[in-house]
Amino acid sequence: MNSSSYLVLMHYPTVDRAGKVITSAITALDVHDFSRLARTYGLGGVFVQTNLPKQMELMERLLGHWIGGRGGEANADRKFALECMAFAPTLDDVVAEVSARHGTPPQIAMTSARDVGVIIKSFAETRESLEKSKQPFLLLFGTASGLAPEVVEKCDWVIEPIGTPTDYNHLSVRSAASISVDRLFG
């Protein structure tokens, strides 16, 4: 189950606080932490999605340093983690790549801290679905203020929000990913 499951860090289309569709910036911290998370839990890998070629070029240079350059020579653990990272311009490209790797299209779920009007499954229900399924799995995480409605429409379901003991629910995407992955694959 784990090796056919992938994290997808979406940067477009996302929304800003006002609900306007935007492209958010990729951060090196997210790239490093998502790849380390995927390796720690034995996942198939991570896709970082952006529609901005300059952002992909920047991240390819970063990966070049850590995988094929001096960074990889100095830190083999970081190199190993980042080797599971890939970039894609669209979610459709991610779906096509995972479908080609596994010979069948993936199930797609997303996380959200708010109600987005799609079928909601608990973490336990999602885990049970994954254990029964032979399809690969994509778990989408939105940056900025969340995923745009056109991404939501491509999902098979939304995983319940991470419960908090307070009314404050503004985890970083890295924190939300770590909690979600541990609940599903831990």
pLDDT digits (tens, 9 = 90+) for 59-102: 999 999 999 999 999 999 999 999 999 999 999 999 999 999 99
Torsion sign (Cα): 73, 49, 40, 170: positive
pTM: 0.96
The pLDDT of residue 100 is: 98
**Is 80 exceeded by the pLDDT of residue 135?**
yes
Q: How confident is the model at residue 118 (pLDDT cuts 50, 70, 90)?
A: confident
What does residue 161 show for φ and ψ, rounded to 5 degrees? Answer: -60, 150
How many whole angstroms separate alpha carbon 184 and alpha carbon 186?
Answer: 6
Q: Where are the domains of the chain?
A: 2-185
Q: Is 156 exposed, middle or buried (0-12, 13-18, 19+ CB in 10 A)?
A: middle
Q: Which fold has domain 2-185?
A: Alpha/beta knot (3.40.1280)
* Model confidence band, residue 163 (pLDDT cutoffs 50, 70, 90): confident
